[in-house]
Amino acid sequence: MLAVRTEVVDLLMWEIGKSEADAAKEFDRTVDYLRDTIRSVKEMDRNAVRFGEDSGFVAQVRRVPLGVSLIMGPYNYPLNETFTTLFPALLMGNTVVFKPAKYGVLLVAPLLQAFCDSFPPGVVNILFGKGRETVSDIMASGKISVLSFIGTNQGANDLKRLHPHSHRLRAVLGLDAKNPGITLADADLDLAVNQTLAGALSFNGQRCTALKIQWVHRSLHDAFVARLIEGVEQLQWGAPWDSGVKITALPEHGKTDYLQALVDDALTRGAQVANPSGGQRSATFYSPTVLVGVTSAMRIYHEEQFGPIVPVVAFDDVSEPLNYLIESPFGQQVSIFGRDTKVIGPLVDACAHQVGRINLNAQAQRGPDAFPFTGRKDSAEGTLSVHDALRAFSIRSMVAFPATSANKEVVSAVLRERTSSFLSTDFYL
Ligand code: G3H
């Protein structure tokens, strides 16, 4: 994989428009994740060789693969988000059917030889084409044991419904999100604005973890918006390979029409484009656009824009953003900017029942990858992290026996003669 880093990074730039720095980061972060996963598998294996004893029984508990795993990643992180499930699935012993994202397909080509050299035929099956046309029959066959899918909740539900034995299917899903940033009255303004900029506009806002609506206390609203505009206007637009570029063209066909429709709808209902260069488009490029005066009557308040629009809502009482979170169909993350412990403490308590991660004075994000990445409601099913992914693609099985000397002798002989690969004390170093 490392031998083709430059080709993969180039293809990420060309096909999905990710800046060179971010494309390189995606590659390196994926390699780090795989290294950590290998370390974690070895640790799991070392612990599994121990025998436990309880109530007169001795047992050895190990994890085994579930079966065929269907891996479908998203176009915004076509390498990272697919490989961080593909590899745990393989390392736990599953065979995989891997369907690359709708964009971000070409980067698989330089990696094909490594797959070919590393795995026996039939272990890694790569399927190209449109999701609905290619994977529907596979799901309907009932032969998939794990569905790993990053995409929309409707897409996930449609796929799951095709499986004839839903109880045989485990799903690991990363879905829609509309993560709010909540800037409290006593927030450090520079920090809140800088984190909002990064959180809302990294890779043009095309991150499931992006901050997609900014709630700002009315007392800070004007100063926050003024600094946000300053920051947005300084972001460099251009081609992904130009140095320092932050805002690039969008890979999705028809995306700028969708973004324009969101902005037009908001403007018709009383919002304003606050930054001088906002609301412009050219072919597949959409300029970063700060919308102020956003209300619940507007589509942008509810819909996941997955693009460079930054809606700002002013609030007087913290119950307003909290109710937004409670009423939202999504529950991935929230970012809270502020210092007042009397406000932050209870807000954290309420948010903990709505989302999978509360970020304090930081943008929403997935990493570090040792942390659990999950969500509530329509945002996720299951949990991913280096540790959790290995468990998601496996199930525990065990050998248990009454602790008699006759049984102990049989088991000792199996171990000594190595007649079983499951009932074994061998482990990876
Ligand atoms: O799009 C979802 C990604 O997992 C987000 O990862 O927060 O590190 O950019 P990130």
**pLDDT tens-digit map of 192-202:** 999 999 999 99
pLDDT digits (tens, 9 = 90+) for 318-327: 999 999 999 9
Distance (Å, whole) CA 355 – CA 377: 9
Ligand 1 atom closest to Cα of 207?
1
Structure tokens at 322: 């909290």
Question: Could you give the strand order of the β-sheet that contains 144-150, starting from the edge strand earlier in sequence?
Answer: 124-126, 95-99, 68-72, 144-150, 170-174, 380-381
Q: Where in the chain is the domain with CATH 3.40.605.10?
A: 2-175+379-395
Q: What is the dihedral sign for C-alpha 185, 189, 194, 197?
A: positive
Q: Which helix (H) or strand (E) holds 344?
A: helix 341-351
pLDDT value, residue 139: 97
pLDDT value, residue 51: 97
Pocket test for ligand 1, best of 80, 209, 333, 374 (most atoms within 8 A of CB): 209
User: Fold for domain 179-372?
Assistant: Aldehyde Dehydrogenase; Chain A, domain 2 (3.40.309)
Total H helices, total E strands in the chain: 14, 20
Distance (Å, whole) CA 409 – CA 416: 10
Task: Residue 149: name the closest of 97, 202, 204 by CA.
Answer: 97
Distance (Å, whole) CA 90 – CA 374: 21
pLDDT < 50 regions, the chain: none
Distance (Å, whole) CA 122 – CA 96: 8
| 8 A C-beta contact, residue 217 and residue 340 | no
Q: 173 - beta bridge partners?
A: 149, 381
Pocket test for ligand 1, best of 152, 202, 208 (most atoms within 8 A of CB): 208
pLDDT value, residue 104: 95
Distance (Å, whole) CA 382 – CA 170: 9
Q: Where in the chain is the domain with CATH 3.40.309.10?
A: 179-372
Structure tokens at 179: 């993560």
Q: Is residue 150 lining ligand 1, measured as CB closer than 6 Å?
A: no
pLDDT value, residue 133: 86
pLDDT digits (tens, 9 = 90+) for 286-323: 999 999 999 999 999 999 999 999 999 999 999 999 99
CATH class for the domain made up of 2-175+379-395 = alpha beta
Structure tokens at 77: 């992180």
pTM of the model: 0.96
Distance (Å, whole) CA 79 – CA 96: 16
Q: Is residue 366 lining ligand 1, measured as CB closer than 6 Å?
A: yes
Q: Alpha carbon of 147 to those of 90, 123, 242, 331: distances in Å?
A: 14, 16, 38, 21
